[in-house]
Structure formats: structure tokens, C-alpha cells
Amino acid sequence: MTSIQPVPPDDPRLLGLRHLLAVIDRLRAPDGCPWDREQTEASMAPYLIEEAHEWLEAIEEGTVAQAEAEAGDALLGVLMICRIAQDDGRYDLGAAAEHCAQKLIRRHPHVFDPAYVGEFGGKEWEAIKRAERQSIGEDSSAMAGIPSGLPALQRVARASGKAIGAGFAWPTIAGALDKVIEELGELREELSKDDLDAVPGTAPAGQNRPEVEHELGDLLLASATLARYLDLDPEALCRRAVRRFESRFRAMEASLDGPMSDQDLACLLNAWEASKVAEGPANSMEP
């Protein structure tokens, strides 16, 4: 493998990182902050997830300054957890970083191995990961390595991507779209007339509820899988869709003459359509 030299000590990126590490070390010192000193890896983990989501939101709809600030907050979570692990004698930032660097070198032979020839893509990447797992006796299924705690749509994207990479895939996008249509038909078959005529918030009728849950789950899965076939992120699509819905709902509320509870459905739908027109045709979405 090609030898990779560390960045020079005067690399500008290191200045802020060294300063942040010094701040964290001071906070964790015996005479540091009591709150920071009592934290554990487990107690800090939710903060890391929260900060990652805030960073993602800033990337998608915030300013450069907001994205930079949230990147720092997410970095703080990583560095704090590594410092806590260091204090407990488990691992430290240096070990974690070196482990990651070596893994990236192994998984990019087309970049770091002068002797590597041929194409390199998703299949080759997954093959390397599978060989790594087999070498240490871990799960080597094509589905391995998908965290169970991922948001559901993101987990579908990962799982369907791995299935496609393993060869379990329709030859064209049309197959994935047909599957969505098929699952929608199966859901409609399970919904009774009473189910369809019920007011919002009414659970399916007793005996067929498991079947309705099953088919609706399959429809959601098929829809998210279609996004993966289209090389789109279903989690990001859903986030954008719900932001559009919230924005239009607020615009609809603001346009009403009086409380929403006093309006009939026709009035609300007219106000909803007006909010869509105000956004423009490219963003139209039915309620």
C-alpha cells in the first residue's frame, strides 16, 4: 500500500482542532466542569445524534455560518466521547482516527495500492467489507453493517442498496415502480369499506388490522426502495416533503378568516391550493 504521510503540524485545520481538544481536556480535568466530568459515553451519545441532525438541517436549509457552527457542535460530541473513553482506559481519539484511516486505505485499493488494476465500485467495496468481517468471524451477510437504530427510511435505503449491490434487483427502475403499485393494490384489498369511511385517527377494524399494518409497511418499504433505485435519498425526500407541508399549513392558517375549526373543508382546501400556488408549480403537493 502507498504510504500516507500525516498532514504537517502547521496545517491550518489543526489549529482549531488543537484548541478545541485543549478546551475539552480542561473541562474534563479534576478541577474542570462538574457536568462535563460526570458524563459517560452513553450519556453523551444522544447529544451526538441530536447535533448531527441539527448539522444536517443546517446543511439542507441553513446558512454557511449555521452549518459551520453545527459542524463544530457535532465535532465536540465526537471529541468529548473519545476523551471520556480515554479517561476510562478504553480508547482515545488517536486510536479511533488511526483505525479509521487504515480502514479507508484498505477499502480504497484503487487509490492507495499501486498494484491494483481494474474497475472499482460498490460491488468491490462491499466485497472488501465482507472479507474483513469474515476474517474476524463477524456476520458476513450482504445485510451486515446496517445499524438497527437508523431512521427507518435511511435503513431501507441502506438495505435496498446492499441488495442491489449483491445482485438482488430488478433490471430496470420500472420493476421498482411496479412493486409500489402492487403493494398499493394489496393495501386497498385489505381496507374494508368501514375502514375507508372512518374519520381520521380511526384504527382499522379488529381482525384485519394486522393485515393492514403489514401491507402499509410493505407499501412504505417499496416506496423508499423506489427512491433508492432512482438514486435519491428517501429520508431527505421525506424531510423536504414534511417541511413543504408545514410551510403550506402555516400559510393556510394565516390566510383564514377566523379559527380553522370554524371553516368547512371546501374553504380549507381552497386555502391549501392558494398556498401551493404561492410556492410555485415545481413544489405542488396534495394534502
State the average pLDDT over residues 256-282.
86
pLDDT value of position 50? 93
Q: What is the pLDDT of residues 39-58, one digit of tens each?
A: 999 999 999 999 999 999 99
- Rounded Cα–Cα distance for residues 109 and 117 (Å): 9
Q: How far is CA 258 from CA 77, 231, 254, 263, 275, in A?
A: 46, 44, 9, 8, 17
Cα angle 104, 152, 44 (rounded to 5 degrees) comes to 65
* Domain 12-112 CATH (choose: 3.40.50.10300, 2.40.40.20, 1.10.3720.10, 1.10.287.1080): 1.10.287.1080
DSSP per residue over 84-128, as a string? HHHHTTS--HHHHHHHHHHHHHHT-HHHH-TT--S--SHHHHHHH
Q: Is 245 a residue whose pLDDT tops 80?
A: yes
State the average pLDDT over residues 164-182.
93
Q: Which of 42, 22, 38 is nearest to 30 (CA)?
A: 38
Of 33-37, 52-56, 141-145, 246-250, minimum mean pLDDT range: 141-145
148: cell is: 438497527
Q: Which residue reads 489549529 in cell numbers?
A: 15
**Greatest CA separation for the chain:** 74
Confidence of residue 280 (pLDDT cuts 50, 70, 90): low
pLDDT value of position 199? 92
Q: Is 140 a residue whose pLDDT tops 80?
A: no
pLDDT value of position 283? 46
What is the 3-state composition of the chain as percent helix, strand, coil, each rounded to the nearest 5?
A: 70, 0, 30
Under DSSP, is residue 37 helix (H, G, I), strand (E, B) or coil?
helix
Confidence of residue 122 (pLDDT cuts 50, 70, 90): confident
State the average pLDDT over residues 219-224.
96
Q: Where in the chain is the domain with CATH 1.10.287.1080?
A: 12-112
DSSP per residue over 215-238, as a string? HHHHHHHHHHHHHHHTT--HHHHH
Confidence of residue 142 (pLDDT cuts 50, 70, 90): confident
